[in-house]
Chain A
């Protein structure tokens, strides 16, 4: 039971760290916060592995450590460090306070949805399940409410962390290949987005999504 308590507690930290990623001043800082969040996620996996006795989850936490804590943040940090577009500032469309309120509302809604799930495996970890869903939507909001295209990439990463967490919570015994598949795909996605983002910056000298408006209708 204690193990699940840790899991639920850590999941709370995930929300905080996702807000940090979203609200950070520049993409490089976002990359740092993202590494932090992924680290919390790995801790959560370890705690969950202890609580459920799932051998696969230990393996997962290890691969997640490699990919999410080290590889992906490193790629983004390297790619985004040299790109900066002072014209857009933080790029946030909404004021910070409103974003936090929005995240809170999303969390409450997700609690409502999670409480309706009747799966026996989900009983002990409903708060964490709600967090995983909320994480997904915070990521979505980060993409929709961001003008900086590089920060939009982090939105995707948050969404992906959210679904990853759901998977771990609901199916701790999933074959490790499944997990590796998801992780590799995410790396490729980040690489492709980073490459495209750099090309856009090189060609158009902007990172502002609102400047990308030559195609309409």
Chain B
């Protein structure tokens, strides 16, 4: 039976999911010229909705609740879970969605030096669907809801990565879809196992499972998470997905798609009420393997976007490592993971949009030919520095705080398990190494005399400036938002 939520929190959450879908329908029904304005309008409306939701939740003392949408008898089929975690992540998803929409309007036009374009309706419609699907995933209280939105985000990313319709872009798009679909089989297994042993799809039912079954369900979810979050052995789709228009890459890497994976795992652990240790071991070992792999893949990259892709892989490995460590009883690691999802979203969006701005104005994203960014365009140079420092976790930028929580949690549990300690130390070493590597490129590209490519760069459109400034501010303050919100 379909029941509409009557309480304001549930209604708002539902609205946050449905408004973008409505926007996509509106775009499909209107002219191309109005598509970008509709997209920004609906994205802004969604931000308003989620802001009110966040305020109301704060007013309620962050209690939240679960609101059933579709259920039969006593069994929840599709429902919304509104709590501090889901609202925080949804906030990032939607806010970055708006920023990307604004940036896209300035990026997809004839003035783009790398990819001149006219900004088709398809792009804006799928972007809105992407926002809606991602919000839906975040608020889902059942595995089936997660599964449906999981696949929907896959379909959206497919449409957007292949947007330029070059053979390579289409191949990369198909790769992203297929690899994540193979991984999604994990979620199918989890849904089926959960239903068959408890008779419900509600995530909270994981807590009622016998330990063996609980481990099976969580590991199945973990497999799906590896797929979306581009972890070993499913990592190969992400670097190729760089064929997407850069604002889409930013959204894929920062707030959607890859965050689907870590989020469903986090949600699964939250609902499990204590997970078997095997889940923690599998999760943390794979995370550290991915970390090391990702680091070594930094070294040969000269394309800024590909470098960022491997950086995303390692940052998500941190989050999965933290989540896995929380299995051993560290609440701090869990909070660090959630905060890192939030912080990384803003930092990585900024970095990608800087890359996009460089290719828009200078026509290239190859690092060796980009020099003296700050001299030519001070704003871009500063943004580059903010982004790099935030990603590598240098105070006072946001990355530092969440990474600190993760490592603090790691040493906490490492005190009891020497093997975990080894893993945490490896991760720490990687962190230092990647800082050094980013510093190298920072020193190469930002200061000094502009290279010929850079010197010929066009001025930055106003829309992009606005978005970059907003994101720079967030790289500093997002951590305190997350910290105060999560308490």
A and B, direct touch (CB closer than 8 Å): no
